[in-house]
Structure 1
Amino acid sequence: MRFSRFSRILLWAVLGGMLLSGVAVSGTRRPTPVRVRRWNTRLLGQRQRIVYERVDHQPVTLYLFRPDHAGSKKRPVVVYIHGGALRYGTARISNRNTPHNRLLVMVERKLIQEGDDFVTINYRLAPLYPWPEPLHDARRAVRYLSDHATHLRIDNEKMAVMGDSAGGQLSAFVGLTLETEGPYPQPIVEGVVDLFGPTDRHAFALQWRRRHGLEPNPVFGVMTWERVKNESAVSYVHRGAPPFLIIQGTRDRIVPPRQSQLLRDKLAQAGVPVEEVLVKHAGHELVDRGGPINPPLTVLADQINDFFLQIL
């Protein structure tokens, strides 16, 4: 079929509009770019952007916050890993007035005031980079900080990690699987704060099977039971793991309390120091459900900082 010059121009205009609006020619919608908001203005300290790896010629970054008058003394460091179902999110802590952001800001401010460093990391996201790539990045980021401790003036014997939701899952994996090299390996981090992170993927895999059958999951691929086991942090609990502080909302429907209880019980059985704080009336990301959350955010922030003070 031959088209007139006007018809060809019209056709290209329509196709171009479809692409610009995020709709591919095949009719499938492209992912909408996540809007990156400005940094939260209440964060303290000097912020330094660091490229800790390059993948496909693209930088993968972390941000190091340190006291304004840090000096040359090595300092303890807490590494924060963001959530977002391993598909969304960014290292940037925004100005959005959410319980999650308010808690992070309170924790960060206290750490900086105590003279410690605070790090928040980016990692590659599914479906372009499915599991275990996000985990590889989280491990590389923490190892990068440890390997470059002298240059960064970090005390690599006083490192801890914390994360929420999917970041809590990654934090648990880092604490349970990232070890020093040599004949007597030891955990690289001294402690883990897991905020409502998934710990056992069997329940999530069953839920996916009921809804989607054998269709591959965009993050975890085809869910064989062996893979599900390997993707569950509870599978890696061992004696000698670092202490854990687990914070879990009692009304969380995204990551039910049972997930945190399973990790708590496994750690306790292995003789690993663990404390679980159940937050009443708290849904996912500590949003209140049916009443004010208890303990409130200020108390939770104090409990987290006390945990860091004890282990670091």
Structure 2
Amino acid sequence: MPLHPQAEALRARRASTGAPPLYTLTLAEARAADLADIRAAAGTPEPVAAVEEHRFPGPGGDLTLRLYRPEPPTLEQRSTELPALLYLFGGGWTLGSPDTSDAICRRLTNAVGCVTASVGYRLAPEHPFPAALQDCRAALLHLVERAGEFGIDPGRLAVGGESAGGNLSAALTLLLRAEGGPALRHQLLVYPNTDHAADTPSLREHDDPLLFNRRSVAWYWGHYLADRADAASPYASPLRAATLAGLPPATVLTAEYDPLRDEGEQYAEALRAAGVPVELRRYEGMPHGFFAMTATLDAAAEAQAYAAGRLREALWEAGREVPR
């Protein structure tokens, strides 16, 4: 279908302001512009019961872990230990911070009834692959180690993220499988990068400078991989894993007008072929990045509600009461 009218209006506004593509800016300029754009498109963040900032030792130094808590349980006989979601922000491994995903984390916290954690993983090119993945692993292990203090059930964990955050989520499930845990109930992959060597129709077709395009993809990969040999690693390109068997059930969301569309859908099909339960949903007429734009695109709120429903089902199953 054509670009959705709401997305077309967003594109027209970008054209009228003359805002340059992020890949033409300096890193400092791109990081500031990216955060400003996301905040404007996300609108007013939802209130949650509490937001906590913690510091913990990571593999390259102290890291920030932000915890979002839902309203206290009200249903009778509900466990005081809540499930937890580690949500990894997007930004091509180059841009972003926990502030980038703040509005998403708040919505998912309330809608799922879970503690949501966001880690300020190290960014490229200052800290190339695999620094970000190592930090995400450290954050998950920290959640498990301090589960009692955080009020988290370590048996009900999920991971998720958009774009590079989806890539890191997929890579983290592969890494945890290789290390023997901790076990995850679910992975939420929102238009993830899955293969550095992708040469797909969606990657070739989308070159609009007013939208995230194939040059954006190349720019981000160029920062993330200091050594091109790392591109073949399944921890950088999850689609290249020898097998995807035994990974957590997945929800994969893609966007029609996204150069990453095909590799995200290929990853969903590869998971399914390996016996992993998968739900794949493509949002027609939507560009890359739409998931965060709840103040601008109706599809963003719909996609977040769908993702929350999938996470609720995964994290509140096995006889536990689902929050209403």
Per the TM superposition, whether the score is higher than 0.5 is: yes
Aligned to 1:228: 232
Structure 1 residue 143: deviation in Å?
1.2
Are 2:62 and 1:67 aligned? no
Deviations 1:222-275 (A, max 9, x none): 323x6424421123343221001000001113x2x1111211121111100011
Aligned to 2:218: none
Name structure 2 gaps, 5 residues minimum: 1-24, 205-214, 216-220, 316-324
Are 2:191 and 1:196 aligned? yes
Name structure 1 gaps, 5 residues minimum: 1-28, 96-100, 211-215
Give percent identity, aligned residues only.
Answer: 24
Is this contact kept in 2: 1:79–1:119, CA < 8 A?
yes
Which protein is bigger by CA-based radius of gyration? 1
Deviations 1:171-225 (A, max 9, x none): 11112321496xxx35522111100010111127x99xx9xxxxx933202323x
TM-score normalised by length of structure 1: 0.72
Are 2:25 and 1:32 aligned? no
Q: Which amino acid aligns with 2:49?
A: G
The verdict on how the C-alpha distance between 1:137 and 1:263 changes in structure 2, with shifts beyond 3 A counting, is same
How many residue pairs get aligned? The number is 258
TM-score normalised by length of structure 2: 0.70
Aligned ranges 1:260-279 → 2 under 5 Å: 260-279=264-283
CA RMSD of aligned residues (A): 3.4
Aligned ranges 1:92-111 → 2 under 5 Å: 92-93=99-100, 101=103, 105-111=106-112
CA distance in 2, matches of 1:151, 1:173: 27
The verdict on how the C-alpha distance between 1:43 and 1:176 changes in structure 2, with shifts beyond 3 A counting, is farther
Aligned to 1:249: 255
Aligned ranges 1:139-178 → 2 under 5 Å: 139-178=137-176
CA distance in 2, matches of 1:51, 1:137: 12
The verdict on how the C-alpha distance between 1:305 and 1:241 changes in structure 2, with shifts beyond 3 A counting, is same
Q: Which has the higher contact order (CA 8 A, sep 6+)?
A: 2
User: Secondary structure at the residue paired with 1:32?
Assistant: helix
Counterpart selection for 2:309 from 296, 299, 306? 306
Q: Which amino acid aligns with 2:186?
A: G
Higher helix share: 2
Counterpart selection for 2:92 from 85, 88, 93? 85
Deviations 1:127-175 (A, max 9, x none): 1100010111011111110121122121011011110010010011112
CA distance in 2, matches of 1:270, 1:94: 31
Counterpart selection for 1:137 from 130, 135, 138? 135
Structure 1 residue 94: deviation in Å?
7.0
